[in-house]
Structure 1
Amino acid sequence: MAVVPERRLALLGGGFSTDDDGLLDDWLLDQVRAPRPKVCFVPTASGDSPAYTEQFLAAYQPRSCEPSVLRLFRRELDDDALRTLLLSQDVIYAGGGNTVNLLAVWRAHGVDRLLREAFDRGALLCGISAGANCWAEGSHTDSFGPLTHLCDGLGLLSGSVCPHYDSEPGRRSSYQAAVATRLLPAGWAVEDGIGALFAEGRLVDSVTRTSQARLYRLEPDSDGGGVRERALPCRLLVPAHRSTPPA
């Protein structure tokens, strides 16, 4: 009987683009069994920012992995080559930026379908900010300017996602209101510094690079008048892959 790959994705509240210690990047690569995992960075949400791409390469080229970049704004790959690239990856890392633009461009190029196929084949999908929002059914976003709810996403993770829960003014109250009024389904609020790993839709690991950062689960009250916010235990990451008990 053929072994069915486990479908996994990770929500990141940091990494190479925001942190100097590399703890979340090391944790991410530790989730892959391949000795030199293939890691493809997809910077669509930033308009394929050259500076962002250079940050990724500077962080991942020295690591024990095979990094690559998929650029779509000046696409060079035909459909077959695009499919070959994405389906050969162990990790597909979506960068931050504009969630709405990311989804629109992916769908125009058929990347959304390829990512679903890669997910079903066992690739670890992950990302930060817009690159975390995109995997869920809905998200909390500033893609239109002011903070608002977006009832759109790839739906690979049930519910909704809110990034930058602790670091951007208005995020917490606005996301709480969206969940409380059911404009967004129950979901996950990610503070900066957090990594959350899901397997088959279940949270299986949550880590933090700071003792303050938290991952929260938000659900509407049964009476529809409020929201329940629950902080979840997170392992504190420290250098040399040593970890402490849940914080």
Structure 2
Amino acid sequence: MADDRMLPYLPPERTQEMYENQTDAAPSGTGKAAEDRTSSIVLENVESLISLVEEEDWPDFGFLMFRTYYSDEPLWERFLARYEAILDEGIDAAPAGSGIERIRDRVFLKFVSEESMAGEPPARVAYAYRLCTEEMDDDAEEDKLEPGLHTRMCFMVDEECMHSVLDANPGAPAPFMKAVDVALGEQRLSYSGTFKVAIASLITKFYPALLDCHDTSDLVPLTEDGIWGA
């Protein structure tokens, strides 16, 4: 996996079994009891995230996002105009009393838009992430990549991702972006190294999940085309 410094926090009281109950697999139990348990897990994870951000005094935290589709600029502009509202909806849905508002203004998705990335596959996105972080870490102190953006997965935004946002409706799949393991192409992985993640789940669910999981493969959705956190 990537260097441990990229995600330094793992609450000692957390176990893999506890983590697995928060993924997009169905929670144990039915009805209100299951919903309460899911809400409790999400609340615990959000509170742990808030503690980390505040204790480490991160000015920003989030993900690097690499655009890989450049053939339709109006589509890209419409995507940018819409995705943030979906992200905000997910943050608004955080459990009451979580305190998420204390760090809300530190959420940052850093988009990298370079036409040289047009049509590139996930492995090249992972390479671009590694190159980008290395270059920024060599910059002057004020230009370094913030620790909260050093993550074990980055994201790619291709045409399919853009349409998932713009075509969103009650009967359609959840709007998503594609997570990419930053070690893809550099280390042998036990899965493809990429999967879809619901935009609404990026901050309050997926970011904490990356902090807690033993391996990114633990997060892979149950079905090949599944959307994590949908």
- TM above 0.5, yes or no, is no
**Normalized per residue, which structure has more strand?**
1
TM-score (normalised: structure 1): 0.27
